[in-house]
Amino acid sequence: MQGPLRGPGGSASVPAGRGAVRLALFDLDHTLLSGDSDVLWCEFLMAEGVLDRAVFAPRNAEMARRYSAGSVSAEDFCDFYVATLAGRSLLEWQPLCQRFLTEVVAPLIPASAHALVDSHRQQGHRLVLTTATNRVLTALTAQHLGIADLLATEVAVDAGNGRCTGRPQGTLNMREGKLMRLRAWLVEHELPASLVGGAVFYSDSVNDLPLLRAVGEPVVVDPDPRLLREAQARRWPVLRLDRGPVAPA
């Protein structure tokens, strides 16, 4: 990771003070993780024979392309990936999710990402992982990162048989939904709404503009081209993480 970030005024963009009541928000895919959890999950399921590669691989690639371009709706995106969970219970998915974390996800989280999270932990900030990827896939990732608070797209479960329906539930944690879910989370935890304006948020994607614009300290991490242009226009700090050698997915 590069040295201390400097904002337009020259002050360090991440305060050094300890014990401050402050939120440190982290996007996951292509921010802390050198890859996309949903895409990697589909590749993992295809390798396991759970999904038909001939049918699903081109659809997976097209959805990833549309997400990067910002041209897919939140509903279509979340529906597509949550559908991979249909027909099994959370308990039945647990062994594959654990292997997915160990074999695929953990090797793709560089030391620099862990160091970034740890820097905020040491300052006493409240850490929140906020991701469009569903909770079934990301709960173990949050634990691996040592982040207790997770905002993710929720997965509907059939009350009758306990199996995932293949549909999301509630407000999707994507685009404007990330800001809506954060505000609802603050209410749920009896925290002041003003914490949004004092928060720092790290993200790589133009899809996170609503939340980036709402926080007091937006930091773009290895941004996509559209977000880089926005960051340059707004003079937001740009962080380049040292990704280093990573294990193949």
Identify the active-site residue in 29, 36, 38, 208: 29
Return the number of other C-beta atoms located less than 10 Å from residue 194's C-beta.
11
Look up the pTM and report it. 0.88
Res 181: pLDDT? 98
3 state DSSP class of 209? helix
Q: How many CA atoms lie within 13 A of 190 on its CB side?
A: 0
pLDDT higher than threshold 70 for residue 80: yes
Q: Do the Cβ atoms of 173 and 131 come closer than 8 Å?
A: yes
Whether 76 sits among the annotated catalytic residues: the reply is no
How far CA 61 is from CA of 53, 87, 97, 99, in Å, comes to 11, 23, 21, 23
Q: Do the Cβ atoms of 242 and 219 come closer than 8 Å?
A: no
Report which of residues 67 and 157 the model is more confident about.
157
Res 2: pLDDT? 37
3 state DSSP class of 61? helix
Whether 27 sits among the annotated catalytic residues: the reply is yes
d(CA 89, CA 104): 22
Res 69: pLDDT? 79
Amino acid letter, 61: A
Report which of residues 248 and 245 the model is more confident about.
245
Phi, psi of 206 (to 5 degrees): -60, -20
Q: Give all domains of the chain, ordered by start, each with its CATH number.
A: 23-239 (3.40.50.1000)
Structure token pair of residue 154: 């929720």
The whole-number average pLDDT for the span 149-173 is 97
Res 70: pLDDT? 77
Res 37: pLDDT? 96
Phi, psi of 88 (to 5 degrees): -125, 155
Q: Which of 20-29, 60-69, 172-181 has the lowest mean pLDDT?
A: 60-69
What string of DSSP letters covers 97-110?
HHHHIIIIIGGGS-
d(CA 13, CA 230): 18
Res 245: pLDDT? 53
Res 164: pLDDT? 98
pLDDT-based confidence at 16, cuts 50/70/90? very low
d(CA 192, CA 198): 11
pLDDT higher than threshold 80 for residue 18: no
3 state DSSP class of 24? strand
Q: How many CA atoms lie within 13 A of 142 on its CB side?
A: 21
Residue 131 CA, distance from chain mean position: 3
d(CA 18, CA 7): 20
Q: What proportion of the chain, given as a percentage, has pLDDT over 90?
A: 81
Q: Which of 10-24, 105-119, 162-176 has the lowest mean pLDDT?
A: 10-24
In 5-89, DSSP assigns E strands to 23-26
pLDDT-based confidence at 242, cuts 50/70/90? confident
The whole-number average pLDDT for the span 203-224 is 96
pLDDT one-digit tens code per residue, 120-141: 999 999 999 999 999 999 999 9
User: Using alpha carbons only, what angle is made at residue 24 by residues 20 and 27, rounded to the nearest 5 degrees?
Assistant: 180
Q: Do the Cβ atoms of 23 and 179 come closer than 8 Å?
A: no
